[in-house]
Structure 1
């Protein structure tokens, strides 16, 4: 796997590259601002970009905005966002297929971090639970989610974290069949019928995040 890192802190940038190398992942470019990220993605055509939210010149949301521009050019390009805080303004726009959003403290768990990198690169979605909580706070009452049962909400919350049916079953101490039944109920209540061009699991998560 080939990765581009966009992080303005030299120490963190080098640390991430070392973690990736130890996991057998090649860093083809490590840059410190949004424009450099866009240029590196065009030049190297990597499998994934790891992007810090706050980068020069204002250290506010340049990384997220650069990530959105990259996705505008390559809609399916995998991006893993790292942030000290949850940036609600753009997070909901970015979240979807082949996207991860982790708080930087999660990088301390190397195994979990490398698992997230591989999952996002493979087209999956990995969302930090705290990101889910904060985005949910924006939801208005009367939304379709109000029809979900408490257990269906638990299942959907774990789906939003990128958990598989097997992992959800283990977390809730139920059978995989029970999880599948809850997911079918979620799809029905959110009016997500089968469609070859849609990924219902991702659409359910987007609804849950209040997009």
Structure 2
């Protein structure tokens, strides 16, 4: 495992953060403590390109980045872990983006992974300790992230994106795929993709295909009451 210190090469790091002041501050902190910052970027596409180009040891990424400021950084981190199993990843966020947080933490790989809320990393030593643990192969997760993910397991509808909840609500109203597409102004293929994602996130296995839509509606109704 790459590390830093006397006689050892520094940890090569890619930092992705759209807020310029925070990006500069984190970059300066990393370099001060011996990390080698090979790229500092402000969007998810640039993050992916930088990792593919530099093959770093560590990625530190904001979760919400341009263009939609939803979960671009987190989705990029999940994809990068799949492509680079030895890549250590730390995701930072103001909020818990539940849809992809579990995927990142369950993404496997040979390196560590972490998810921390930004308001919990004010202590420099704690932040550096989290990085050391991640580089050592551990999983480091903010307690609030764990709490929300556990709530998601109790209520799987929480895993759905706002659009997926909208689609499921229309299914509960008895709308067909074509009607859902017309109402939401999306293609039939997009509707089918949303429904497939809903069924997976609600843990409805394919062998129950004849009842999956009904079971999805029941889950939605339980969540809504």
| TM-score exceeds 0.5 | yes
Measure the CA separation in 2 of the matches of 1:58 and 1:140.
29
TM-score (normalised: structure 1):
0.64
User: Who is 2:166 aligned against?
Assistant: none
The more displaced of 91-100 and 33-42 is: 91-100
1:118 pairs, out of 132, 135, 151, with: 132
Q: Which runs of 5+ in 2 are unaligned?
A: 1-10, 156-225
SS in 2 for 1:138: helix
1:82 pairs, out of 87, 92, 110, with: 92
Asked if residue 5 in structure 1 is aligned to residue 15 in structure 2, the reply is yes
Deviation of residue 65 (structure 1)?
0.9
Q: Which has the higher contact order (CA 8 A, sep 6+)?
A: 1
Q: Deviations over 1:59-78 (max 9, x none)?
A: 11110111111112112311
The structure that has the greater radius of gyration is: 2
Q: Which runs of 4+ in 1 moved over 6 A?
A: none
The more displaced of 1-10 and 96-105 is: 96-105
Q: What is the number of residues matched between the two proteins?
A: 141
Asked if residue 53 in structure 1 is aligned to residue 67 in structure 2, the reply is no
Deviation of residue 18 (structure 1)?
1.3
Deviation of residue 119 (structure 1)?
1.2
Deviation of residue 22 (structure 1)?
2.1
Measure the CA separation in 1 of the matches of 2:28 and 2:121.
12
Contact 1:6–1:34, Cα closer than 8 Å, also in 2: yes
Measure the CA separation in 1 of the matches of 2:93 and 2:136.
21
Q: In the TM superposition, what are the counterparts of 1:57-72 in structure 2 within 5 Å?
A: 57-72=67-82
Q: Which runs of 5+ in 1 are unaligned?
A: 142-211
TM-score (normalised: structure 2):
0.60
